[in-house]
């Protein structure tokens, strides 16, 4: 082949390839941003990672990361999305008997609202403790926050003033609950569970076996209680914490907390885990499809409906009857 013919052939091949490239570019579909706008207009996004949920007789509030809250009436059918002036993630949220809400974020701030749950105010938490976890409101509308170094932070005026107490031990309180009779029960690191009637004098139970780290806590009354944690572990006491027994669980996932609906008891955890208690055992709720995201919070909408919140925009209503459960999907999670 002559040099001229060789060059001509390669030029033709190059022109054909370039023409084909322009044709492909010309056929490319125009960029469609409509779905971006649609996603922004939704109240629930797939990138939401819900951290806690609380409810009153009139309102339900779901706390997420990046300062986001979702507000609904107690039917939990239509949601209003609120962006607070913070990008901090929420640690917990609680509802008080007077209808007000209180939430704690990762920057040691207490956010408080009226019973309408739309007017939120930031109140700095007066503490040097770096870790905050447990959160609850008692019958006198006093908000309690668990913290590191066995510290309890207490406010009777929704964050205007604070007082604290400590056991002078290097442990983190992870969960707080107030029983119907006003008794406070707290759980923390190194298998710690304690009771108090006045918030000052505390009675320790027998330590949880193997210094178990409790993530979730629920006491039905002063004698009967449960704690949950890693590896699908659930420990139960029927004697006020004098002894603890591990119960059989159909999960090995971390279990983050408990929820009740009527007289039914559930526990929630990683990988979409939802277990129901019965006959001394914890069995998976078959109505819930397999989820890759976590479940971390739940509230009872009534005796027959349980609202579940978790990662990847997971917000689901579980409809219960006497023998089974049926799922009504409200969120963006799959």
The CATH number assigned to the domain holding 145 equals 2.130.10.10
> What integer pLDDT is reported at residue 200 of this predicted model?
86
> What integer pLDDT is reported at residue 41 of this predicted model?
60
Q: Is residue 68 part of a domain?
A: yes
Which residues in the chain land under pLDDT 70? 1-41, 289, 322-334
Q: Give residues with Cβ within 8 angstroms of 235, minimum separation 6.
A: 208, 209, 212, 226, 227, 228, 244, 245, 246, 247
Q: Is residue 32 part of a domain?
A: no
> What integer pLDDT is reported at residue 40 of this predicted model?
55
> What integer pLDDT is reported at residue 8 of this predicted model?
42
> What integer pLDDT is reported at residue 150 of this predicted model?
96
Q: Is residue 229 part of a domain?
A: yes
> What integer pLDDT is reported at residue 244 of this predicted model?
98
Distances (CA, A) of 305 to 58, 181, 201, 317: 15, 26, 38, 6
Task: Say if residues 316 and 306 touch (Cβ distance below 8 Å).
Answer: no
- C-alpha to C-alpha distance for 331 and 334, rounded to whole angstroms: 8
- What is the count of structural domains for the chain? 1
Please give the structure tokens belonging to residue 207.
């330590």
Q: Is residue 299 part of a domain?
A: yes
pLDDT in tens, 142-199: 999 999 999 999 999 999 999 999 999 999 999 999 999 999 999 999 999 999 998 8
> What integer pLDDT is reported at residue 13 of this predicted model?
47
Task: Give the DSSP letter of residue 247.
Answer: P
- Which residues constitute the domain of residue 264? 46-329
Q: Is residue 145 part of a domain?
A: yes
Q: Is residue 41 part of a domain?
A: no
Task: Say if residues 148 and 172 touch (Cβ distance below 8 Å).
Answer: yes
> What integer pLDDT is reported at residue 99 of this predicted model?
97
Q: Is residue 169 part of a domain?
A: yes
Q: Is residue 28 part of a domain?
A: no
């Amino acid at each position: 082949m002559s040099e001229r013919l060789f060059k001509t052939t390669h030029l033709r091949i190059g022109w054909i390839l370039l023409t084909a490239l322009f044709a492909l570019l010309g056929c490319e579909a125009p960029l469609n941003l409509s779905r971006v706008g649609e996603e922004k207009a939704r109240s629930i996004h797939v990138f939401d990672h819900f951290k806690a949920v609380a409810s009153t007789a009139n309102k339900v509030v779901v706390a997420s990361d990046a300062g986001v809250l979702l507000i609904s009436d107690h039917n939990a059918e239509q949601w209003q999305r609120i962006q607070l002036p913070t990008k901090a993630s929420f640690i917990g949220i609680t509802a008080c008997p007077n209808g007000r809400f209180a939430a704690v974020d990762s920057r040691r701030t207490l956010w408080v609202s009226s019973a309408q749950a739309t007017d939120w105010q930031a109140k700095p938490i007066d503490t040097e403790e770096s870790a905050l976890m447990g959160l609850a409101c008692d019958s006198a509308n006093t908000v309690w926050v668990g913290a590191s170094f066995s510290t309890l932070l207490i406010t009777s005026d929704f964050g205007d003033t604070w007082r604290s107490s400590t056991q002078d031990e290097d442990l983190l309180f992870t969960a707080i609950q107030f029983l119907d009779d006003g008794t406070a029960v707290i759980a923390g690191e190194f298998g710690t569970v304690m009771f108090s009637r006045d918030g000052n004098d505390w009675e320790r139970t027998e330590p949880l076996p193997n210094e178990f780290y409790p993530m979730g806590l629920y006491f039905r009354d002063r004698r009967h209680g449960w704690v949950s944690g890693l590896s699908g572990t659930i420990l139960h006491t029927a004697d006020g914490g004098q002894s603890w027994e591990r119960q059989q669980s159909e999960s090995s996932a971390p279990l983050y907390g408990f929820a009740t609906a009527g007289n039914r008891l559930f526990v929630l955890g990683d990988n979409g885990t939802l277990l129901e208690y019965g006959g001394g055992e914890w069995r998976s709720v078959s109505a819930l499809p397999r989820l890759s995201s976590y479940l971390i919070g739940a509230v009872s909408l009534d005796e027959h409906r349980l609202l579940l919140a978790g990662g990847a925009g997971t917000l689901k209503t579980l409809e219960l009857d006497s023998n089974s459960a049926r799922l009504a999907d409200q969120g963006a999670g799959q």
